[in-house]
Amino acid sequence: MAPLLGTIRSPADLKALPPADLAQVCAEIRHAICDQVSRSGGHLAPNLGVVELTVAMHYVFDFAHDRLLFDVGHQCYTHKLLTGRQHLLPRLRQRGGMSGFPEPRESSYDLFTVGHAGTAIPTAVGMARGDSLKGEGWSPAECPHGRRVVSLIGDASIVNGVAMEGLNNAGTLPRQFLVILNDNGMSIAKPQGAVAAYFDRLRLSHTYGEFKRRAKDFARHMPGGESLKDLYHRMGESSKAFIAENHWFEHFGLVTVGPIDGHDIPTLIDFLNEAKHFDRPMVLHVKTVKGRGYDFAERDACTFHSPAAFKIETLENEGCRVEVKKGGRSFTSAFGEILHDLMTRDPKVVACTAAMPDGTGINKVIDAFPGRVIDSGICESHAFDMMAGFAKTGWKPFFAVYSTFLQRAFDQAFQEAALQGLPVRLCLDRAGLVGGDGAVHHGFCDIALLSTLPRACIMAAIDEPSLRAAIEFMADYSEGISSVRYPRDSVSARFATLPCPRFELGKAQPLLTHSTPDAAIVAFGVSAVDAAEAIDLLSGDYSVDLYDGRFAKPVDGDLLERLCAKGIPILTVEDHSIRGGFGAAVLEECHHRGLDTRRLVRLALPDRWIYQGERKEQLAEAGIDAESIAKAVRAAIDQMPRSEDPAPAHAAVK
């Protein structure tokens, strides 16, 4: 048959196809996604699992008019291919290409830029209420041409607290509202908790035949005094047979239908057509297989959740073999081994992750120390409070979490940890610029958040030895919250020949010094590596000292006094927002000590969003790659004010 995917420029083209052609469209979409992810990396297994579901949604609804809200936005690739963005796929997660998450800058079909879990139901509730207030919400009698609202949630994000709050409010809506639960039995890793266990039991114990009970026999009543018996008479024949009695969602006031097969296109279309015309909040429970269509992705959905580029080979007598492209040793891998060593030596250490055992390196300890390592599921707030509880009972808790997800638990960091003086230890992976995942995942504000907390200790690692030294320091720090940040990158061997002394609270570490330097760079974290490369570029022209700042709170004020006394330019460099970051802490300390800051230049992430691309491209855009740092050093030296100039009333910063 002739290819079909290339003829689909919008959902209208999809709707023009006969239902019998949709299976071919799904096959072509799967091939296109797998082929591109094998070249560029990206979220593979989650997208393979929702191909039929997404095709069916666009076949039934009109999302140029209706509302579609994504949860865990990495499941959006099929949606994007059906909404006019096939030309962007060859540059997936790259500059000028397709973002790996819903992105309103790309298309009006994407309503929110979304990369965090739990948000789809609450934002959908807000849009449903907003449309209704404007008289634009769909109603079979009052507004038959109004907007319908659909929220797609999956990858176990239903257990997220924000999703629960949204469900609690969704059940009160007096209008159409559809939540599609993509239940694939997986999160990024195996889902955790009682709710996940409930869905496991539901999938195993409830066959479709068991759902073929008459809803008119149900005794439970829904909000507004309407019983399921009444609702039964208002639903289509397909949905009547699959109404779930005593389903968990029923207690939130949502009629629940399913589970149904999320890869059976005719069934999906039938049920979605009925849900489309149902005027009360409903959950459609859809069972899918993560990685569907490619055996290697189905067998190992964790590895192929978001792989790097990979190569597929078909070998005689061996079948299909997949080789994922290997990079250098990552900070994540180094952290996992360091934590394993620490937990082996210190029986008081416990650890936690929020559904990211592979992404944070916790997978290296989760089996070795049962009972001392917990995966909370996609529940960062709960995870932080749980670690505070561990600390209160005398343990040494380490919470491994992406920097971008830390802010989801900031209230707990404040109330249950810092305010109580409890030493919860934060290991912040993916700090700074993250490359292809783009703005939704940049770890750009952890220093700004944590620095507001009294007695918080904020550190950064430049390589594996400094990461080990920081974690050893944290194990013994008991005055309050402590944190160490490190990027989604390979560890550098740039400073491998230098000794890495123990961390001392508030003390920086010299990396390169001269008797009469022309300038000094105080770098925070891996920016020290880029600064060292910048100094290489300046070699022969200028002598530049380099320091590993180590601490953003407290900063090394004594070092700043010595550097300011030299009368040379001082540059701070960091992979964090210029607002509230390491450079801001340096400026505050200088002001506190009455130091002249005319020669202080801060290099950091600019006060604007940086979108997907290679990390090196993002560093250059932010002005913190080696070339940009070298340029800034030259400018600072060339523009250095004369010593006889009076100090300004306020510190001047770049």
**Using CA of residue 333, residue 336, residue 342, residue 345, what is the dihedral sign?**
negative
- pLDDT tens digits, residue range 422-463? 999 999 999 999 999 999 999 999 999 999 999 999 999 999
Q: Do residues 438 and 100 lie in contact, with contact meaning Cβ atoms separated by under 8 Å?
A: yes
What's the CA gap between 497 and 360, in Å, rounded?
27
Name the active-site residue from 380, 464, 574, 621.
380
Block residue for tokens 């963005």: 85
512 pLDDT above the threshold of 50: yes
Contact 448, 579 (CB under 8 A): yes
Mean pLDDT of 137-154: 95
**CATH superfamily, region 5-9+23-287:** Thiamin diphosphate (ThDP)-binding fold, Pyr/PP domains (3.40.50.970)
What's the pLDDT tens digit per position in 587-612?
999 999 999 999 999 999 999 999 99
Residues 114-125 pLDDT 10s: 988 899 999 999
Report how far apart, in Å, the C-alpha atoms of 617 and of each of 103, 304, 309, 536, 629 are: 20, 25, 18, 20, 14
Q: How confident is the model at residue 385 (pLDDT cuts 50, 70, 90)?
A: very high
Q: What average pLDDT does this structure show over 121-143?
A: 95
Q: In 3D, which of 441, 444, 409, 442 has the Cα closest to residue 426?
A: 409
Listed in order, the ranges of the chain carrying CATH 3.40.50.920 are: 510-638
* pLDDT, tens only, 487-499: 999 999 999 999 9
> Is 202's pLDDT higher than 60?
no
pLDDT in tens, 344-380: 999 999 999 998 999 999 999 999 999 999 999 889 9
Q: Tell me, letter by letter, the H, E, C secondary structure of 67-95.
A: EEEECCHHHCHHHHHHCCCHHHHHHCCCC
Q: Read off the pLDDT band of 244 (50, 70, 90).
A: low
Band of pLDDT at residue 243, cut at 50, 70 and 90: low
pLDDT for 55 equals 98
Q: If you average pLDDT over residues 202-206, what whole number do you get?
A: 44
- The DSSP symbol for 221 reads B
Per-residue pLDDT averaged across 521-529, rounded? 98
- Return the pLDDT at 110: 96
User: How would residue 79 be classed by pLDDT, with cut points 50, 70 and 90?
Assistant: very high
Span 332-353, average pLDDT: 97
Selecting among 287, 408, 425, 430, the annotated active-site residue is 408
Q: Are 101 and 114 in contact (CB under 8 A)?
A: yes
**The predicted structure's pLDDT at residue 313:** 77
- Res. 214 pLDDT band, cuts 50 70 90: very low
Q: What is the average per-residue pLDDT within 223-248?
A: 51
pLDDT recorded at residue 204: 42
What percent of the chain shows pLDDT beyond 90? 78
pLDDT higher than 50, residue 213: no
pLDDT confidence bin for 250, thresholds 50/70/90? confident
Question: Which tens digits make up the pLDDT trace of 543-573?
Answer: 999 999 999 999 999 999 999 999 999 999 9
Q: Assign 251 a pLDDT band (cuts: 50, 70, 90).
A: confident
Residue 323 pLDDT exceeds 80: no
Q: Which of 628, 625, 632 is nearest to 653 (CA)?
A: 632
CB atoms within 10 A of CB 352: 24
pLDDT, residue 206, reads 42
Lookup: tokens for 444: 């750009």
**CATH architecture for residues 331-485:** 3-Layer(aba) Sandwich (3.40)
- Among 400-414, 455-469, 607-621, 630-644, whose mean pLDDT is lowest? 630-644
Q: Any idea which of 171-175, 449-453, 629-633 has the lowest mean pLDDT?
A: 171-175
> Residue 367: which residues within 8 A CB-CB, separation 6 or more?
none
CA separation for the pair 102, 69 (Å, rounded) = 9
Using 50, 70 and 90 to split pLDDT, how confident is the model at 208?
very low
Domain with CATH 3.40.50.970 in the chain: 5-9+23-287, 331-485
Query: Residue type for 550, please?
Result: R
CB contact at 8 A, 555 and 458: no
State pLDDT tens for residues 23-37.
999 999 999 999 999
Would residue 408 show up in a list of annotated catalytic residues for this protein? yes
Let me know if 212 is a catalytic residue. Answer: no
Query: What is the pLDDT of the chain when averaged over all its residues?
Result: 89
Task: Give the pLDDT of residue 633.
Answer: 98
Q: What's the pLDDT score for residue 521?
A: 98
Assign domain 510-638 to a CATH class. alpha beta
Q: For position 580, what pLDDT does the model report?
A: 97
Other CB atoms within 10 A of residue 533 CB = 16
pLDDT for position 223: 41
| Residue corresponding to tokens 């013994």 | 476
Catalytic residue at 326?
A: no
Q: By the 8 A CB rule, do 155 and 46 touch?
A: yes
Catalytic residue among 67, 290, 372, 599: 290
Q: Give the CA distances from residue 403 to residues 310, 407, 422, 429, 450, in Å, rounded to whole numbers and listed in that order.
A: 27, 8, 20, 6, 11
**pLDDT tens digit string along 617-629?**
999 999 999 999 9
How large a percentage of the chain has pLDDT more than 70? Answer: 87
